[in-house]
Structure 1
Amino acid sequence: MEFIWILCAFLCGLGVKVLNMPPLIGFLAAGFLLNFLGIEASSSLDTLANVGITLMLFCIGLKLHVKDLLKSEIWAGTLSHKALWSIIIASCLLFFTALNLPYFSDLDFKTALIIGFALSFSSTVCVIKLLEEAGEMKTRHGQIALGVLVMQDIVAVIFLVLATGKIPTIWALGLFGLLLVRPILYRLLDKVGHGEMLPLAGLFLAFGGYELFYAVGVKGDLGALILGILLASHSKASELNKALMNFKDVFLIGFFLSIGFTALPTLAMLGMSMILSLFLIIKFALFFIIFTRLKLRGRTAFLTALSMSNYSEFGLIVAALSVDSGWLSKEWLVILALSVSISFIVTSILYKNAHELYLRHKETIKHVELADCLDEDHFIQPKDVRILVVGLGRVGRGAFESLRQTLGNQVAGMDADRVRITSMAKEGDNVFFGDGEDADLWEKLDTREIELVLLALPTIKDSSNITMQLRKAGYSKQIAAIARYQDEREELLAADIDNVFNFYTEAGTGFAEESLQLIGLSSTAASEQQAT
C-alpha cells in the first residue's frame, strides 16, 4: 500500500472520529479525495480490498450456523424483499424516465429492473462493520442481518452464473465432500495452538476456500464463507475470529478507498445519486414491514431493517456487467458508486443512534408488530435470583461461576448469544437468553428481588445504555460493570453505575488473592503477619 493512501485514510478517518462518526465515512471520503487529486489506484489496492472481503466472509462463517438460514424470517424475508423492492424501484425509475430526467431518459423496463435488482442488495462490509462496532453480532437482530446477507450472497452467485454464462465445472459437485473433510479441519485447528500459527491457519483456510471454489467455477468469496461455516462449531472459532480481526479491518480500508476511485462525478450524477439515496426510506420500510409480518418483534424488525438500509458493493458488479453488455451507459456506474457511498454514510450515522431512535418511536413501532411473535422472541423470567450477570463472555462467565459457588442458583446469567446460552443451559447453569440493550426486556422483567446486576460487556457504551434502561425501568439497587482503562472507569461511574472493576489493573489483585489461598493465607492474614 502506498504511503499517500495510508496518510489520507488516517487523516480522514481521524477527522470523522473526532466528529464522533464511524471512521469508514472518512475512508470513503479519502478515496474520493485521492481520486480528485489525480492519484491513480494501482492493482494492489484492488488486491487489498479483495483480501479484506474474503477474510470478512470467512469471519462471518465462523459466527453462523446453517440451520439459521432455514428460518422463515431469513429466507422468506430475503426473497420477498428482493422481489417487491425490484418491482417498486423499477416502477419509480420508469416514472423518472417519463419526466425526462438526466440519465433516466434512455431507461426501459429491463434496464430499470436491473438497477432495482442491483440496489436490492445490502452491503456485507458496511453492515458487519456497524454490528461489530456496536458489539451486536451475536444479538437476535445481528444474527438475522447476517443470515439475510448470506442469502443475498447465494442469490448473487446464481445471478452471476446466469448473467455471465459461466456454469461451474462438473468438479463443483465435489465441494459437497467438504463435509467429510471437516473432522480433518478440526484436528488442524487443534494442532496449531494459540500463538502466531492460529491466525496463519485462518488465512490459509480462508484463501484456501476461496481458491478451491474459484478453481471449479464458483464465486471464490462463497468458498471463504463456507469454510468459515464448517468451522463455526469448533471450540476455537471465536478465538480464530478475534485473531483475524485486525487483519480484516486493515485490509477492508482498501475496499472503502477503492469505491472512491471508481470515477469522478459531475453535479448531474451527484443529483441522480441523491435521488436514488432517497429510496433508502423505501428499503427500510419494506424490510420493517416484511419482518414484522414474519412475526418478529417490532424492536428486532426495526434494528435489522435499519442496519440493512444501504446499497451494496455488489450493485457495482451488476452495473459493470450491464455496462459491458450494453444495457446501461457507463455513467450509471458512477451514479451507483456514489449512491453506495452515500448509503454507507447515512446508515452509519443512523445506526449509531439506533437504540435512541427506537426508544423515541417505541410505541409506534410496537403498534405495528403482531400480537403473536416467534417463540425465540418471548422473554424468560428468572426466579429467586439475587444477582444477575449480563454478558457471559470470558470475564462474565468467570464471575458467574465464581458467584455460583457461593450462592448457587440465586445467581443467573443473561447473554445475547443464543448458542452460548444453549450450551451453558445443557450443563445445568441458571442462564437465559436476552439482549441487555432491549428496553422492552427490562420493562417486562421483574427485577424487584435482584440485589445486584453485573455488566460484563465488551464496550462501555453498552454498559451505559443498559444502566440507563434499568434505571428508567425502576431498578434502584446496585449495578457494577467492567472497564479496561481509567477514563472508561470514570465515564461509567458518571453513568450512575455503583462500582466499576478495571480488570487490567485489578486482575493482578485477584490473582494474588487466589494464589495466597494455596498456602493457606488470605491477603488480610498476610498483612497481619507482615505487621507482626
Structure 2
Amino acid sequence: MILVAYLCGLSLKMIGMPPLIGFLLAGFLLHFLGVQPTDSLDTLADLGITLMLFTIGLKLHLGDLLRREVWASTLSHMLLWVVLFGSFVLLMASVAMPYYSEIDFKTAALIGFALSFSSTVCVVKLLEENGEMKTRHGQLAIGVLVMQDIVAVLFLVAATGKLPSVWAPLLLALVFARPLLFKLLDKAGHGEMLPLTGFFFALGGYELFNLVGVKGDLGALVFGLLLSQHHKASELTKSLLSFKDLFLIGFFLSIGFTALPTWSMLATATVIALLISIKFFLFFVLFTRLKLRSRTAYLASLALSNFSEFGLIVAALSVQAGWLTREWLVILALAVSLSFVLTSVLYPAAHRIYIRYKDNLKRYESPQRLAADIVQQPPQATVLVIGMGRVGKSAFKALRTVLDEQVAGLDSDRFRASQLQQKGLNVCFGDGEDADFWENFDTSDIKLVLLALPLVEDSRNVTVQLINAGYTGQIAAIARFEDDREALIASGIDKVFNFYKEAGSGFAEDSLQLISQSTQSAPKHYHANEEDD
C-alpha cells in the first residue's frame, strides 16, 4: 500500500497536480489489483480525521460560528441544494435513466442531503497547502464545515435512533476544565511530549464524547477549540502536522476500496460530480447576498465545491435500510473522489482566475460592507511588514525602534491583528493576496514592503498584487531554501533573505560582540613565555 501510494502521489506531484489525487487513484488501483484492505488502514484513516478536526479546533474561534454569514449560508445552501438535486434525480428517474428508475422522492432528497456536505478533509488540505487557513475566506469555509458537522451529528442521532447518554450535558462542564488543560499543555514542553500531548487531547476528546453517545469527532474538535487561545496552540498544530498528513493518506486510500466501478457507474458519477458547479453558484450567491465581498465569496465557494465523505456514511445507512441499491454506494464514492480531483485542480489557480474575471464577479457584490471587510489604513507608514508571525513580529519590533510609528504591520489573521492592536502596535487586518484590498489601500507613502510569509507562493502572489496596484517601492522577502530564494528573485522581489543563512550570520555577529566586549573590559593578563608553554 505504501509503495503504490508513494508512486501514485509522486507521479501526480511531478506533473504539477496535488498528491492527494494520486492517493485516491492508488486506492482504486490497489482494489483493482486484488489487494484487501486491513483494519489498520481504517485505523490510520480515523486517526487522520480525528487529528485534523483537533487541529481545526486549535485554529478556530467560536465567534466565527456565530456570524450570520456562516450559519445562514450553511443552512440555506443545504436546503436549496436538496431541492435542486432531488429534482434532478426525479427528472432522471422519469426518463428511466439507469440506476435512477427505482428512486422515489424520499430517497432523492436523502441523496441530495448526503451530497450537500463539503469535504472537511479536502478543504482543510487545500487551505493548508495554500497557507489560507486564517484568511477571511479560509475562516468562512472552516465555519461552514463546522456547522455542517453539527448538522451531521443531529442527522446521525435521528437516523440511527441512538440518543446521547443522560450524562452528555455534563460535557458543557469542559469549559471549566480549560485552566487544567492549559497547565498540562504548559508542562509538555517543546520536545516529544508536545505531539504526544496533542494525541492525548485529540483521542481523549474523541473517546470522552463517544462514551456519552455523541459523535467522537466532535469531541476532538471541541478539545481543540478549548485550547485555541493557548499561546502554544500554533506550536502544537505544527508538531502534529506530519502525523496528520501521513494518517490522512489512509483516508484517501480507503475510498478506493469501497467497490469496483463499471463504466456506466463512472459515467453516472461523472455527471453528478459536474453538478458541483451548481453547488459553487449557490454558495457564491448566498455569500454575496449576505454582504460578503466577491473575492471572499468566490474563494470560499470554490473551496467548498466538493462532496463530503459523509455522503458515503449516509449512503451506507440507506443501503442497510433498503432505500438504495449497493450500486449507489459505488456511484457516490466515485462522485466524491471526482469532486476531490476537480477542486484540487481548480483551487490552486483560484487567484489567477479571480484576477481575470474580477470585474464580472464584482457585479454581484452588495454596495454595503460588513464591518470585518472594511480596509484600515495605517497612518504615516513608510515601511509595511506583511505577515505578523514570529519572523514578521521580530522584524516589526526591530524597525519600530528606529522608525517608530512609520512602520506598520499587516496580517490576514483578524484575531492576531486585533491582539497586536490592543498592545498599541500599528497593525491592521488585511489579506496581501487580495487584489481588492490593494485597490482600497494607499501605497503612495510606502517605501519598503517586507514579506514575512511562510510560503513562497504567497510571497509571489502578494508581489504580483502590489505591482498591479501600482506600487513602486522596494520589496524584501524571506526564504528557507536556495531554490525558493531564486524563484522569489525571478518574480520581481528586490531582496530575498535566506532564513537559515541569515540566522546563522546574525548569530555569529552577535556572538563576536561578546569577544570584543570581554577584550575591552578585561584586565591585562600575564602572557607565558615559550618555556612556560
User: Aligned runs of 1:207-218 on 2, under 5 Å?
Assistant: 207-218=203-214
User: Aligned runs of 1:154-169 on 2, under 5 Å?
Assistant: 154-169=150-165
User: Aligned runs of 1:20-419 on 2, under 5 Å?
Assistant: 20-419=16-415
TM-fit CA distance, 1:486: 0.7
TM-fit CA distance, 1:315: 0.3
Report the Cα distance in structure 2 between the residues aligned to 1:106 and 1:468, rounded to whole angstroms.
54
Q: What SS is found at the alignment partner of 2:163?
A: coil
Report the Cα distance in structure 1 between the residues aligned to 2:76 and 2:511, rounded to whole angstroms.
59
Query: Deviations 1:492-523 (Å, cap 9, x if unpaired)?
Result: 1010100000011111111223334456669x
TM-score, with structure 1 as normaliser: 0.96
Q: Which amino acid aligns with 1:44?
A: S
Report the Cα distance in structure 1 between the residues aligned to 2:415 and 2:513, rounded to whole angstroms.
35
With 502-511 and 276-285 compared, the bigger mean Cα shift is at 502-511
Report the Cα distance in structure 2 between the residues aligned to 1:235 and 1:490, rounded to whole angstroms.
34
List gaps (5 residues or longer) in structure 1.
523-532
Query: Deviations 1:369-428 (Å, cap 9, x if unpaired)?
Result: 100021101111122111000001111111111111111110000000111111111110
Q: What SS is found at the alignment partner of 2:264?
A: helix
Report the Cα distance in structure 1 between the residues aligned to 2:24 and 2:369, rounded to whole angstroms.
39
Query: Deviations 1:268-297 (Å, cap 9, x if unpaired)?
Result: 100110110121010000000000001100
In the other structure, the counterpart of 1:442 is 438
List gaps (5 residues or longer) in structure 2.
519-533
Q: Which amino acid aligns with 2:419?
A: S
Query: Deviations 1:249-269 (Å, cap 9, x if unpaired)?
Result: 000000000000100000110
1:509 aligns with 2:514: no
Could you say what the CA RMSD is over the residues aligned between the two structures, in angstroms? 1.0
Query: Deviations 1:88-135 (Å, cap 9, x if unpaired)?
Result: 100011001111100001111000000000000000000000000000
Which of 6, 11, 14 is 1:10 aligned to?
A: 6
Q: Which amino acid aligns with 1:224?
A: A
Identity across aligned pairs (percent)? 64
Report the Cα distance in structure 2 between the residues aligned to 1:380 and 1:185, rounded to whole angstroms.
36
Report the Cα distance in structure 1 between the residues aligned to 2:514 and 2:446, rounded to whole angstroms.
33
TM-fit CA distance, 1:65: 1.2
TM-fit CA distance, 1:218: 0.6
Which of 472, 478, 484 is 2:474 aligned to?
A: 478
Which of 487, 490, 495 is 2:491 aligned to?
A: 495
Query: Deviations 1:24-72 (Å, cap 9, x if unpaired)?
Result: 0000000000001011111111111000000000000000011110000
Report the Cα distance in structure 2 between the residues aligned to 1:218 and 1:504, rounded to whole angstroms.
46
Q: What SS is found at the alignment partner of 1:504?
A: helix
Report the Cα distance in structure 2 between the residues aligned to 1:312 and 1:369, rounded to whole angstroms.
28
Report the Cα distance in structure 1 between the residues aligned to 2:296 and 2:514, rounded to whole angstroms.
48
Q: Which amino acid aligns with 2:351?
A: H
Q: Which amino acid aligns with 1:143?
A: Q
TM-score, with structure 2 as normaliser: 0.96
TM-fit CA distance, 1:346: 0.1
| Paired positions, count | 518
